[in-house]
A = this chain, B = another copy of it.
Amino acid sequence: MQIGIIGLGAMGAGVARNLLKGGHDVVVWNRSPQAVETLVAEGARRADTPGGAFDAEIVFSMLAQDETIEEVVVASGALDAARKGVVHVNLSTVSVAFADRMEALHAEKGLAYVAAPVLGRPDVAAAGQLNVLCAGDPAAVAKVTPLIELFAKQVWPFGDKASRANVVKLAVNFSLASMIETLGEAGALADAYGVEPAALYEVMTGTLFAAPAYKTYSALIADARFEPAGFKLPLGLKDVRLALAAGEAQSTPLPIASVLRDAFIEAIAAGDGAKDWSALAAGAFRRSARKLG
C-alpha cells in the first residue's frame, strides 16, 4: 500500500521502518533532510513537500505539537494536495481542541482523520511494540488498523470521535507525571530521615507498585540519571498543560495537575529544561534544600 509519513523524529522513524519492513511503499517527508536521507537509504521514497506525502492512500504524521501540525499539514496546503479518499492517521500528542478542529477540517475536505496517539518511547517504537490509542471514523479505523499493527503491540479502540483517543493519551501522561512527582516527594521524605530513596522504591516496586512505569522511573530518579532525555521535561509540561486545558473546557478542575504544572515550570527555571521529565522528581529535594543523588 502507498503510505505517506510526515515527521521522522525518533518516534516517526521507528514507525516508518516497521511499515517498510511490512513491505509497503513508503514516502517520507521531514523538515530536516538528514532523517529523510537515512530512510531513503533504507528503501523509502522522498517527498519534497508535506503535500507530496499526502499523495498516498494512508498518511501517518508524528510531529511535536499542535503548532507544528498546523504549519506542516494545514498551512502548507498539504491537505488540499491530498489524494482523494486518503486517511490521515495522526500519531502525535495534540490538544483535544486541536484534534476536534482537525477532524472537522478533514471532514470539510472529504478526508478521513484518525487519532492514534501512542504510548512508548523510541526504543519501543523501533521494536514495533507501541500501545496505540485509536479513535475516528470506524471505516477509516478498520482500514488503518492492520498497518498500525505493524508497529503496535496492541491497539486500544476509543470509538468514533477522534479526540477521545487524545484525551486518554493526556490522562495517561498526566498520570505518569503525577507518579514522577509523587516518587520525588516520597523519596525526599524518606531521604530526610536517612532512608535512601532507592530503598523506599525497592519496597514499592517489589510490592504494591510493581509496574513497568514505577520500575523504570524510580530507577532513573534514584540514580538521578536524567540524561540523555527519553522525553524532555518541557514536553511533560506541555502534556500537563493540555490536560488542564481539556479539563477547563469541560469545567473539570485537576488540582494535582495544577501542582505538576507549577513543578515543571520550577524545574525549567532551575535549569532542567533539557533533561528527561523524570527530573521533575528532583524538585522535591530542591524545595527542602537538599540534593537528589
Interface residues of A (CB under 8 A from B): 96, 119, 131, 133, 154, 156, 158-159, 161, 163-164, 167-168, 170-172, 174-176, 178-179, 181-183, 185-190, 192-195, 199-200, 202-204, 206-214, 237, 241, 243, 246-248, 250-259, 261-263, 265-266, 268-271, 284, 287-290
Query: A interface, by DSSP: helix, strand, loop or mixed?
Result: helix
Q: Which listed residue (B192, B208, B243) contacts A189, Cβ 8 A? A: B243
User: Within 8 Å CB of A190, what residues of B?
Assistant: 167-168, 171
Contact B158 A199 (CB under 8 A): yes
Q: Which listed residue (B192, B208, B259) contacts A259, Cβ 8 A? A: B259
Q: A175-B209, A179-B182, A253-B287 are in contact. List 6 more A-B contacts (CB 8 A).
A: A171-B187, A189-B243, A251-B269, A256-B256, A256-B259, A259-B259
Q: State the copy count for this chain.
A: 4
User: Within 8 Å CB of A253, what residues of B?
Assistant: 261-263, 265-266, 269, 284, 287-288
CB contact under 8 A between A256 and B203, given known A195-B167, A246-B193:
no
User: Within 8 Å CB of A172, what residues of B?
Assistant: 186, 200, 203-204, 208
Contact A131 B192 (CB under 8 A): no
Contact A289 B265 (CB under 8 A): no
Q: Which listed residue (B175, B194, B251, B269) contacts A252, Cβ 8 A? A: B269
User: Within 8 Å CB of A261, what residues of B?
Assistant: 248, 253, 258
CB contact under 8 A between A208 and B289, given known A185-B256, A251-B268, A262-B254:
no
User: Within 8 Å CB of A209, what residues of B?
Assistant: 175, 211, 213
